Structure 1
Amino acid sequence: MTTKKTLTISILSNILLAAGKIITGLIGGSIVLTSDGFHSLADLSTDLICVIAVLFSRKPKDQSHPYGHKRIEDIGSLILGLILLASVVGIIIEAAGKIVNQEHLVIHQNLTIFLLMLFWALITLPLKEYLFRISIKSAELENSISLKANAWHHRSDAMTSLVAAVAISVGFFMPSVKIIIDVIGAVIILIYVGKIGVDFVIHSVNALMDRSPSPEFLNKITSTAKDITEVKSVSKPQVRNLGGEYWIDLKIQLDGDISLNKAHQITHQVREHIMKKMPQVVEVMIHTEPEGQ
């Protein structure tokens, strides 16, 4: 399935889920289902950001953008995180206002409304698992960090909908605690969605600030370069993460008595070996020095 088709299915699914949950949640007076509906609405924003990010990131590098356009994916992830956090704040303010003013929108005991609310909460589980599976395949084909994040976001949505389903069911069969259970369920969803938003923001800011990858990743670069027997030593690599693609600057030391042509051959061999062993690496710039310097 193409990335375009995957994102189209995801967008249409989230429109349907958001509309169904929000409308039914408001009719049934369920804060937790309404919160879950706004979560689905935020998912729609995620899909739209992914569309923009994938389209722009595919553009080849040019004179103005020598590293290509993959950075747009990090910008997209940052915007996504801020949208999620904004939706959390908005729902908290709305729910708090209802609690303080005791305008709880009484959860109806009508069986039809209960079944509708439960339907919209439960239908999310198989639908989001399907979206996860097709999205993760597209992410692997595109080598896209934003598509991968969106795929795992689909799977995490199942948890929030499960919480909503439990809260709605308990509220219906135990009317005496329906309000507190509804609010607790909404809080759990908001905390979870808020954490996702914070994670997106932190990851995106780190990427935009060119934060160095983990020590394990750097050590793997060094050890891979040393697989080439002519390499005497390797300095600490400098790495840029551009939307899940890595650009590496590396210094290696070679025997000072070899010819320039031989040094060039070894450098090319090191570059090709690193890119073969580490598929996420798209470019390696290598500076050679005589051994001992």
Structure 2
Amino acid sequence: MQDIQDWSEEDQTDEKQKAVQKSTWVSVAANLGLTTTQVAVGLVAGSQGLVADGIHSLSDLLADFVVLLAARHSSKEADDDHHYGHYRYENAASLVLGLLLLAVAVGMVWSAVSKLHATETIAAVKPIALWVALGALVTKETLFRYMLAVAQKVKSSMLVANAWHARSDAASSLVVAIGIGGNLLGLPLLDPVAALVVGLMVGKMGWSFSWDAIHDLTDRSATEEETENI
């Protein structure tokens, strides 16, 4: 009976690792394409918001590799240095994702505020930027739904964090599309304003991930409501 139980647990761990790796590689491919397209078109079309969104996609790409690294190590068995296994790698990866988002947010906000202080430097945006922003929105929302479904199936907190990272990018693409649309309608300030909003959204998400990961790594106790449910 014990052998069957051990096999079952090992099989589930293996399935979880494969699911995380597969979904994350899908995200890598999507984010690589988005980063290249958004930054290139943003520079050509003169859209600070689209460039900011491309940098956000780049942070997603870097986060994907953090997840792949953590997934590889978290499945290792207990050893002399880790008596309870390596599952904390997931929490550590979530913390890295959060700190990464915070760093990206600071840079985005700084750049946007600088533009708003020098409005004469705001260029007219070309229409192609709007189509790219809308395409990024659809891609990110689809990626979020796919990754979240996989995360819930295999019960991976790390993958849930990465999925919501993708959702934050979808939300930012929506804001950027609105900003670009405003610029095209003769309201140039809306493009850097969109970049500023995206930066604040990224910062909020980064703080949330970092704070939760720190609590998990320090073994935060369950709330009264959670204890009551248990």
Structure 1 length-normalised TM: 0.68
Aligned-partner residue type, residue 216 of structure 2 = A
**Which one has a larger percent helix, Structure 1 or Structure 2?**
2
1:148 to 137, 148, 160: 160
**CA contact under 8 A between 1:54 and 1:144: conserved in structure 2?**
no
Q: How does 1:112-123 map to 2 (within 5 A)?
A: 113-114=126-127, 116-123=128-135
1:102: Cα distance to partner? 5.0
Provide structure 1 residue ranges, at least 5 long, that are not aligned to the other structure: 222-293
* 2:202 equivalent in structure 1: 193
Distance across 2 between alignment mates of 1:159 and 1:149: 15
**CA contact under 8 A between 1:24 and 1:117: conserved in structure 2?**
yes
1:92: Cα distance to partner? 2.4
Q: How does 1:1-293 map to 2 (within 5 A)?
A: 2-101=19-118, 104-108=121-125, 113-114=126-127, 116-173=128-185, 175=186, 177-178=187-188, 180-221=189-230
SS of alignment partner, residue 69 of structure 1: coil
Distance across 2 between alignment mates of 1:104 and 1:208: 45
The change in CA–CA distance for 1:157 and 1:9 in structure 2 (over 3 A counts) is same
The change in CA–CA distance for 1:66 and 1:103 in structure 2 (over 3 A counts) is farther
Quick one: higher RCO (CA 8 Å, sep 6+), 1 or 2?
2
The change in CA–CA distance for 1:55 and 1:3 in structure 2 (over 3 A counts) is same
**CA contact under 8 A between 2:108 and 2:196: conserved in structure 1?**
no
Could you tell which deviates more after superposition, 120-129 or 99-108?
99-108
Distance across 1 between alignment mates of 2:120 and 2:78: 56
Aligned-partner residue type, residue 37 of structure 2 = G
**CA contact under 8 A between 1:75 and 1:204: conserved in structure 2?**
yes
SS of alignment partner, residue 26 of structure 2: helix
SS of alignment partner, residue 121 of structure 2: coil
1:189: Cα distance to partner? 1.0
Aligned-partner residue type, residue 158 of structure 1 = A
**Which one has a larger percent strand, Structure 1 or Structure 2?**
1
SS of alignment partner, residue 123 of structure 1: helix
The count of residues paired between Structure 1 and Structure 2 equals 213
1:97: Cα distance to partner? 3.4
**CA contact under 8 A between 1:29 and 1:104: conserved in structure 2?**
no
Distance across 1 between alignment mates of 2:66 and 2:89: 10
Percent same amino acid at aligned positions?
37
Aligned-partner residue type, residue 136 of structure 2 = T
* 2:5 equivalent in structure 1: none
Distance across 2 between alignment mates of 1:82 and 1:22: 22
* Aligned alpha-carbon RMSD (Å): 1.9
**CA contact under 8 A between 2:101 and 2:206: conserved in structure 1?**
yes
Q: Runs of 4 or more off by more than 4 Å in structure 1? A: none
Aligned-partner residue type, residue 25 of structure 1 = G
* 1:276 equivalent in structure 2: none
SS of alignment partner, residue 81 of structure 2: coil
**CA contact under 8 A between 2:104 and 2:202: conserved in structure 1?**
no
Deviation by residue 1:8-44 (Cα, 9 ceiling, x = unmatched): 1100110111111112112222121111111111111
Aligned-partner residue type, residue 176 of structure 2 = A
Distance across 2 between alignment mates of 1:59 and 1:199: 28
Deviation by residue 1:44-80 (Cα, 9 ceiling, x = unmatched): 1221111111111111222321221111111111111
Structure 2 length-normalised TM: 0.85
**CA contact under 8 A between 2:102 and 2:207: conserved in structure 1?**
yes
**CA contact under 8 A between 2:143 and 2:166: conserved in structure 1?**
yes
